[in-house]
Homo-oligomer: A and B are copies of this chain.
Amino acid sequence: MSASKSSSDNARNVLMDKIVSLCKRRGFVFQSSEIYGGLNGCWDYGPLGAELKKNLKDYWWRRMVRDRDDVVGMDGAILQNRSVWQASGHEKTFSDPLVDCKETKARFRADQIFYTPAIIGGDSHGYVSITESPSMEEEAQQKIRKIQKKGGIKGEIAPLDLKPLTEATAEERAQIPSPNATEPGTLTEPRQFNLMFKTYVGPVEDDKNVTYLRPETAQAIFVQFKNVLETSRVKPPFGIAQIGKAFRNEINPRNFTFRSREFEQMEIEYFCRPEDGMRLLDEWLETRLKFYEEIGIPRDKLHILDVPEKERAHYSKGTYDIEYEFPFGVQELEGVAYRTDYDLTKHQEHSGKPLEYFDPNTKEKFIPHVVEPSAGVDRTVLALICQAFDEETVTNDKGKEETRTVLRFAPRMAPIKCGVFPLLKNKPELVAKAREVQEMLRVHMNVFYDEGGAVGRRYRRQDEIGTPFCVTIDFDTLGENGDETKDTVTVRERDAMTQERIAIKDLLGYLLERIS
């Protein structure tokens, strides 16, 4: 079992490597400032990645804001007054436990280091530690086998008892080696490291001028709650939605774009009466699951974690994590949290400004409760790519088997909706007609004109970036094989690779129906 687990871990790593490589090769994602060696935890989206991300954000905005009467948008600044982060508790408590390895100078998050006693033949032989990963059990086993071999120790290895370093006693910690060192005792005591990036507003770098890059978009919504309430003719239950960048000075950015230092969030704070909180929490979970299906992430690849009370924020009465089966493990895409009236109460206390709502019907005054569906843009983009990625063996024009790489994006998410190809690039009539078709379509969708190489190769290039349809203009289109096929084109579908003959006049309708 351990061998098969290990080989499946290996397959997952290979898959992830292929995805990362495709992202770079086709311009979805580049390392930020790559020519200068990059900046750990920061990524740039290339031409196709930028389109994919924009499609996701636009669709979220459409479904969550414009399609609803009860949600309005906002777009707040990344830099807020420091008091916001004092009131929200971020300045005091938004931190991770940091440990250093004195031997190798590596830095770890203590809760991402796991340790186990190495018990061989019933005797204790110290501890081993590894960093959290889907393959960490196997890695720990290997380390213990190494101890066994090196020491020539006989006997069975006892079942592992992996626990996070944060649970180790001081005595244990002295005996636990760092994950990348051999001698025990090289790890420092965990210390709390605040994850907010600090900066100074104005010319003087003193305490008075400190502020932070926002670590989440939510607080800008809470502090503008009253302004929105008073200017937008909304009343509870209603939501304020926002998409924007947030920053966390992660100790260990990892898993490609999944855990990065700069990222984007799509959040709604939904304000309601206290008694409706639990019901709305469940409703929002359903709404959000439906959204993921609409963008092409099937329900059976999503896990819903009903976060147990002791792992929830202390003020939350209920939280669901919506997780996706990434190649590197099941990981959170979105949190749907019932935050009670915690945030507004804190801001009312700290600002001295009333943040209550007066209900004209019941004559009650109350601080609204909040349900928050908070999704990661970059994580969802990555999930879209992982979900779409496929390789299959197909037989090419010459009867040879080859591997077809295809991104099976839901058409509404695809960066390019339609490729437009003249059969040959040296026939001006074909080129002119193809350009005409391109101009007709591009007002309504993102199209890509390509005249280079055999049509089969052009299909493959579009398959690899997930373009759902390709249109070829050939001699039939020009009417050279009779009136029946004149002004028709071949439409080739990405997934089934089927081809249909469609009249140009019907083409826009045909495509619009399938991409929106």
Interface residues of A (CB under 8 A from B): 24-27, 30, 32-51, 53-54, 58, 61, 66-67, 69, 72-81, 83-84, 87, 98, 107, 193, 197-203, 211, 213, 220, 223-224, 226-228, 231-233, 240, 242, 245, 247, 249, 251, 261-262, 347, 350-351, 353, 355, 442-443, 446, 449-450, 452
Q: Hey, which chain B residues are within 8 Å of A77, CB to CB?
A: 32, 39, 42-44, 262
Q: Hey, which chain B residues are within 8 Å of A449, CB to CB?
A: 69
Q: Are B262 and A33 in contact, with the CB atoms below 8 A?
A: no
Given contacts A26-B231, A75-B49, contact A81 B203 (CB under 8 A): no
Provide 12 A-B residue pairs closer than 8 Å at the C-beta atoms, listed in order of the A residue: A25-B231, A27-B231, A33-B81, A34-B224, A35-B226, A36-B87, A44-B224, A49-B75, A66-B442, A66-B446, A197-B199, A199-B199
* Residue of chain B at shortest CB distance from A96: B203
Q: Are A53 and B81 in contact, with the CB atoms below 8 A?
A: no
Q: Are B232 and A47 in contact, with the CB atoms below 8 A?
A: yes
Q: Are A98 and B203 in contact, with the CB atoms below 8 A?
A: yes
A106 to chain B, nearest CB (A): 12
A87 to B224, CA, bound (A): 39
Q: Hey, which chain B residues are within 8 Å of A442, CB to CB?
A: 66-67
A26 to B350, CA, bound (A): 26
Q: Hey, which chain B residues are within 8 Å of A84, CB to CB?
A: 33, 36
Q: Are B203 and A36 in contact, with the CB atoms below 8 A?
A: no
Q: Hey, which chain B residues are within 8 Å of A228, CB to CB?
A: 27, 46-47
A207 to B254, CA, bound (A): 24
Q: Are A79 and B32 in contact, with the CB atoms below 8 A?
A: yes
Instruction: Return the contact of A74 from the options B24, B26, B44, B107 (Cβ within 8 A).
Output: B44
A108 to chain B, nearest CB (A): 11
Q: Are B51 and A73 in contact, with the CB atoms below 8 A?
A: yes
A464 to chain B, nearest CB (A): 11
Q: Are A227 and B66 in contact, with the CB atoms below 8 A?
A: no
Given contacts A77-B42, A231-B27, A232-B47, contact A83 B213 (CB under 8 A): no
Q: Are A42 and B232 in contact, with the CB atoms below 8 A?
A: no
Q: Are B74 and A36 in contact, with the CB atoms below 8 A?
A: no
Q: Are B81 and A32 in contact, with the CB atoms below 8 A?
A: yes
Instruction: Return the contact of A61 from the options B26, B54, B73 (Cβ within 8 A).
Output: B54
Instruction: Return the contact of A351 from the options B36, B213, B450 (Cβ within 8 A).
Output: B36
Given contacts A33-B80, A45-B76, 18 further A-B contacts (CB under 8 A): A24-B227, A26-B231, A30-B227, A32-B79, A32-B80, A33-B220, A34-B223, A34-B227, A39-B211, A41-B201, A42-B80, A47-B228, A49-B75, A54-B61, A66-B442, A193-B203, A203-B249, A245-B245
Given contacts A199-B197, A227-B34, contact A79 B46 (CB under 8 A): no
Instruction: Return the contact of A261 from the options B54, B79, B452 (Cβ within 8 A).
Output: B79
A262 to B245, CA, bound (A): 13
Q: Hey, which chain B residues are within 8 Å of A203, CB to CB?
A: 98, 107, 193, 249, 251
Q: Are B78 and A201 in contact, with the CB atoms below 8 A?
A: no
Q: Hey, which chain B residues are within 8 Å of A443, CB to CB?
A: 67
* Residue of chain B at shortest CB distance from A52: B75
* Residue of chain B at shortest CB distance from A219: B33
Q: Hey, which chain B residues are within 8 Å of A199, CB to CB?
A: 197-199, 213
A415 to chain B, nearest CB (A): 10
A84 to B31, CA, bound (A): 14
